[in-house]
């Protein structure tokens, strides 16, 4: 395992109903530091399941996932420690509705990183400044638009200073007008060298930002390549078919 591999998944399976349904059927992938991996594929292809396996929100039925060399699929691993280093952004934002934006962002740093309230708030405000939402720090999530909520969700994850960011269809629940502002934040993040794994239907984002694009269907990785190659010269017939429909 090379030094800059941050996540290594090997033979990851997720079966439901006693093996009848194979959401993931032996998926292996290495993710290197600073890489932006975009996972595309039709609905039900297992791409979200795979992403959720990477921080064990979904526990794989079989296979091993190494994070910084630690086997996080091992029952004896304290997954909570490792999750602090893996930020996650959800399709439906999942902000805490009973807390202000600032409290949303400082809750984990204060309790888990043992930061002082002052320090955590200063960091949170700096992050909010970056995404242009510093003036909403004391608002509640219900007072924000979808795009604003997702930008807050991204900086809430960043407040934990993660080594890798996982995005689970971050723009799928947004009004078309608001997709751009979220993708913009993600592009900046990529440009800063953040390691990112992104499940998305935004082919434009994949083409522009990805260092590698992975195409999944029926719980398997069918093809992976640089965006130029994968979109310009697709090999697998299923990928050709998929791209003909979405592009």
Q: In angstroms, what is the minimal distance from the CB of 158 to another protein?
A: 11
Rounded Cα distance, 212 and 226, in Å: 5
Residue closer to another protein, measured from CB, 55 or 148: 55
Residue closer to another protein, measured from CB, 142 or 233: 142
Q: Which of 148, 150, 146, 152 is CA-nearest to residue 101?
A: 152
Residue closer to another protein, measured from CB, 62 or 241: 62
Q: Which of 220, 214, 219 is CA-nearest to residue 234?
A: 214
Residue closer to another protein, measured from CB, 112 or 122: 112
Q: In angstroms, what is the minimal distance from the CB of 94 to another protein?
A: 4
Q: Site residues (CB under 8 A) for another protein?
A: 55, 57, 59, 75, 80-81, 83-84, 86-88, 90, 92, 94-98, 107-108, 111-112, 140, 142-143, 156-157, 160
Rounded Cα distance, 7 and 34, in Å: 11
DSSP helix, strand, coil percent of the chain (3-state; round to 5):
40, 25, 35
Extract the tokens encoding 241. Answer: 């078919």
Q: In angstroms, what is the minimal distance from the CB of 144 to another protein?
A: 12
Q: In what order do the strands lie in the sheet with 21-32?
A: 21-32, 5-16, 62-67, 70-71
Q: In angstroms, what is the minimal distance from the CB of 81 to another protein?
A: 7
Q: In angstroms, what is the minimal distance from the CB of 230 to another protein?
A: 28
Residue closer to another protein, measured from CB, 125 or 160: 160
Q: 3-state class of 99 per DSSP?
A: coil
**Beta-carbon count within 10 A of 136 CB:** 19
Dihedral sign (CA 192, 116, 141, 138): negative
């Amino acid at each position: 395992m090379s030094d800059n591999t941050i996540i290594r998944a090997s033979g990851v399976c997720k079966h439901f109903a006693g093996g009848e349904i194979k959401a993931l059927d032996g998926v292996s992938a290495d993710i290197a530091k600073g890489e932006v991996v975009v996972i595309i594929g039709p609905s039900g292809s297992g791409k979200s399941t795979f992403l959720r396996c990477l921080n064990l929100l979904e526990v794989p039925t079989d296979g091993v996932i190494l994070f910084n060399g630690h086997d996080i699929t091992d029952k004896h691993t304290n997954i909570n420690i490792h999750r602090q280093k893996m930020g996650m952004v959800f399709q439906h934002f999942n902000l805490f509705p009973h807390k202000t934006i600032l409290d949303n962002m400082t809750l984990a740093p204060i309790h888990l990183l043992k930061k002082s309230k002052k320090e955590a708030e200063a960091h949170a405000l700096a992050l909010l400044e970056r995404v242009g939402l510093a003036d909403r720090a004391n608002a509640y999530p219900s007072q924000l638009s979808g795009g604003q909520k997702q930008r807050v969700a991204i900086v809430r994850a960043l407040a934990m200073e993660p080594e890798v960011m996982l995005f689970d269809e971050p723009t799928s629940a947004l009004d078309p007008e608001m997709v751009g502002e979220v993708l913009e934040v993600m592009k900046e993040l990529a440009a800063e060298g953040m390691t990112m794994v992104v499940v998305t239907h935004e082919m434009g984002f994949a083409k522009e930002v990805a260092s590698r694009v992975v195409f999944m269907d029926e719980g398997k990785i069918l093809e992976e390549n640089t965006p130029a190659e994968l979109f310009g010269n697709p090999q697998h017939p299923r990928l050709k078919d998929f791209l003909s429909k979405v592009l």
